[in-house]
Amino acid sequence: MATEAVPPPLPLPNLDDKPHWDGLRRHELLIQKCADCGALRHPPRPICHACRSGRKEWVKASGRGVVYSYTIVPQATHPAWRDKVPYAVVIVELEEDVRLVSNLEGVPNEQIKVGLPVEIVYDDVAPDVTLPKFRVRK
């Protein structure tokens, strides 16, 4: 008997991060910026970590960066990822000096290293959800 595919969990945007997810759907990486001191922040938050202001705006990021850190996940933490293990989870430090947690596509796990130059790719996983993933920069 064939097992039915289990859909992966998807992000649930909230008031603080909805513009980020909306931008990804348009294949734009938007980062929250404090409208008072200019500090960039990710993940999006209601208050600036640098000056405590609640005013924010959104700026388009380059989508380029380097692998800051990574781990190889040896066991599925959700049934939807059962056939994907082992897979890499990376922390990418963008050129804009913010970090994103994501996945690295098209690179064997044993070739991943800190400092590897990467760029964003957009994974349209559902009609209303796009996830940011990364690949080695061309």
Residue 5 forms part of a structural domain: no
* 90 and 110 co-located in one domain: yes
The whole domain housing 55 covers 13-60
| pLDDT of res. 2 | 52
Each residue's pLDDT tens digit, 15-58: 999 999 999 999 999 999 999 999 999 999 999 999 999 999 99
Residue 95 forms part of a structural domain: yes
* 96 and 38 co-located in one domain: no
Residue type, 46: P
* DSSP annotation string for 77-104: SSGGGTTT-SEEEEEEEETTS-EEEEEB
| pLDDT of res. 5 | 80
Place of tokens 């040896």: 74
Q: How confident is the model at residue 138 (pLDDT cuts 50, 70, 90)?
A: confident
Residue 90 forms part of a structural domain: yes
Q: Would you say residue 4 has pLDDT above 80?
A: no
Give the number of C-alpha atoms closer than 13 A to the C-alpha of residue 40, restricted to the C-beta side.
17
Residue 8 forms part of a structural domain: no
**How many structural domains are present in the chain?**
2
* 75 and 56 co-located in one domain: no
| pLDDT of res. 89 | 96
What are the CA-CA distances from residue 74 to residues 3, 10, 56, 81, 88 (Å)? 21, 21, 39, 11, 9
Each residue's pLDDT tens digit, 77-90: 899 999 999 999 99
Alpha helices, H only, the chain: 18-25
* 52 and 120 co-located in one domain: no
Residue 19 forms part of a structural domain: yes
* 72 and 136 co-located in one domain: yes
CATH of the domain at 138: 2.40.50
* 82 and 107 co-located in one domain: yes
Q: How confident is the model at residue 1 (pLDDT cuts 50, 70, 90)?
A: very low
Residue 114 forms part of a structural domain: yes
Each residue's pLDDT tens digit, 90-112: 999 999 999 999 999 999 999 99
* 56 and 67 co-located in one domain: no
